Amino acid sequence: MRAGHVLKLIDIVGSEAALRHLNRDGKRGLVVTASLDRTNFHQPIRLWDMIRLESRVSQVWQSSLEVEVRVQAENWFTDETRDIATAYLVFVALNEKTREKIQFPAYQPGTPEELQLAQAAELRKKNRATEGKTAPFIPIEDTDNPVVISRLMTPNDANAQSNVFGGIILSLIDEAGSQVAKKQSLNQPVVGVRQDRMSFISPTFIGETVEAKAVLTKTWNTSTEVQVEVFAQNPNQAEPRRVASSYLVYVKLGPNGRPGEMPPWTPQTPAQIQRAELADVRREIREREEQQQALSLSSVQDNAALSPSSQL
Ligand SMILES: CC(C)(COP(=O)(O)OP(=O)(O)OC[C@H]1O[C@@H](n2cnc3c(N)ncnc32)[C@H](O)[C@@H]1OP(=O)(O)O)[C@@H](O)C(=O)NCCC(=O)NCCS
């Protein structure tokens, strides 16, 4: 299953938790995806797997809240359950008509686990603020020979307020990104393993054409990083709007289904060399954050083991 398809489901299930929280006190409104945190896909989803997505609110601020979405796959024949990914998304509540920001009802974490989750959400908020709404990137030019995917947004892609779901954009990002990775791996299978933290800078509406442009930034042993930029073009406006940009990592699979050697790529132009240097920096940041997350997870597990409720 393509990572983009899973991301689309993650956005749908996540927005349901955000909407339910907004409606809790009878409040009406619309929720839009503001950002998706760095997401790792630990395992592939295979044919005949049944997938299960669970979402819950992790922290609420003013007009925004964070939702945790856990994805698991279950093999129908063996009953084996595997953790596929855990994603964190921020949704913003808007007035349905005016699109002005509105407040979410307050949230009070109850259990020690909820408290830990809320604390981890604060840490992610801090990391997002440090990194800024968009990670530094070098704009993709036509001379970079990008893979370009263009699609008209139809009512199938949007909610009742004509607002295109973030998941549609996430799926398009992966479609463009995986084509670049597949080209580099000489048409051998690739799997998406990471999607970097990203923000939805501008909304997209029905009737607009969305264009995703993707280029390779760097190859390592078995993996490659791809930069994707997304623009929306309103038919009545001259200039397209930037909607989102993201970095994704793909791994090439060998004949045994294990990671296989990715054909190396050498950057040539000054822009390509700079992109490759920034890719190494991002790889270091990802590894550092994974260690940080593993540490905070083990502290959650330690505290859960100590908490009286978990001993019942
Ligand atoms: C999300 C959006 C409404 C934010 O608008 P904005 O003017 O930048 O908002 P502000 O800076 O006033 O922030 C409003 C809240 O959103 C949060 N926020 C804004 N951008 C964010 C981001 N990228 N990541 C996390 N939180 C974000 C802020 O922290 C603030 O939270 P608070 O009120 O709880 O303190 C706007 O960027 C937008 O419309 N984006 C497109 C959303 C969309 O259509 N998604 C689907 C994609 S097709």
- Mean pLDDT, residues 138-157: 95
104 ligand 1 Cβ < 6 A: no
To 10 degrees, what angle do helices 270-306 and 112-131 make? Answer: 160
Any ligand 1 atom below 6 A from CB of 223? no
Ligand 1 centroid, distance to 241 Cα (angstroms): 16
User: Does 230 contact ligand 1 (Cβ within 6 A)?
Assistant: no
What are the residue ranges spanned by the domains of the chain?
Answer: 3-295
Percent of the chain with pLDDT over 70: 94
**Cβ neighbours of residue 153 under 8 Å, at least 6 residues apart?**
164, 168, 204, 205, 206, 207, 208, 209, 210, 232
Q: Tell me the C-alpha distance between 146 and 216, whole Å.
A: 8
Per-residue pLDDT for 84 more than 60? Answer: yes
Atom of ligand 1 nearest to the CA of 203: 44
Task: Give buried/exposed letters for 154-188 (b at 16+ CB in 10 A, else e).
Answer: eeebbbeeebbbbbbbbbbbbbbbbbbbbebbeeb
Ligand 1 atom nearest residue 90's Cα: 25
Burial of 39 by CB count in 10 Å (0-12 exposed, 13-18 middle, 19+ buried)? buried
Q: Say what the pLDDT of residue 306 is.
A: 42
Ligand 1 centre from 42 Cα, in Å? Answer: 28
Decide: 196 and 246 in contact? Cβ < 8 Å.
yes
pLDDT tens-digit readout, 152-196 = 999 999 987 788 999 999 999 999 999 999 999 999 999 999 999
- Of 70, 31, 197, the residue nearest 126 (C-alpha): 197
- Phi, psi angles (nearest 5°) of residue 115: -65, -45
CA–CA dist 276, 228 (Å, integer): 14
Q: Please check the confidence at residue 300 and state whether its pLDDT lies above 60.
A: no
Long-range contacts of 47-53 (CB under 8 A, 24+ apart): 48/75, 48/76, 48/77, 49/1, 49/73, 49/74, 49/75, 49/76, 50/74, 50/75, 50/76, 51/1, 51/6, 51/9, 51/84, 53/9, 53/10, 53/13
Rounded-to-integer distance, Cα 62 and Cα 273, Å: 41
- What pLDDT, in 10s, does the model give residues 87-114? 999 999 999 999 999 999 999 999 999 9
Residue whose CA lies nearest to ligand 1 atom number 2: 34
pLDDT tops 70 at residue 265: yes
Give the pLDDT confidence score for residue 296 in this predicted structure.
66
Contact 230, 243 (CB under 8 A): yes
Would you tell me how many other CB atoms lie within 10 Å of the CB of residue 121?
Answer: 23
User: Is the pLDDT assigned to residue 297 strictly greater than 70?
Assistant: no
> What are the start-end ranges of the H helices in 221-269?
none
Main-chain dihedrals φ then ψ at residue 149, nearest 5 degrees: -120, 130
Is the model's pLDDT at 308 over the cut of 50?
no
* In the predicted structure, residue 285 carries a pLDDT above the cut 90: no
User: Which residue's structure tokens are 């005949």?
Assistant: 48
Instruction: Please check the confidence at residue 301 and state whether its pLDDT lies above 90.
Output: no
Per-residue pLDDT band at 309 (split at 50, 70, 90) = very low
Quote the radius of gyration of the chain (alpha carbons, Å). Answer: 20
Superfamily of the domain at 3-295: Hotdog Thioesterase (3.10.129.10)
Cα 216 to middle of ligand 1, angstroms:
29
Atom of ligand 1 nearest to the CA of 163: 44
Is the pTM value of this prediction over 0.85? yes
Does 14 contact ligand 1 (Cβ within 6 A)? no
Distance 73 CA to ligand 1 centre (A): 31
Instruction: Give, for ligand 1, the residue of 11, 92, 157 to mutate: max count of ligand atoms closer than 8 Å to Cβ.
Output: 92
Tokens 């607002």 correspond to 163
Hey, whose CA ends up nearest to atom 4 of ligand 1? Answer: 34
- With a CB cutoff of 8 Å and minimum separation 6, the contacts of 265 are 184, 216, 218, 219, 224
| In the predicted structure, residue 311 carries a pLDDT above the cut 60 | no
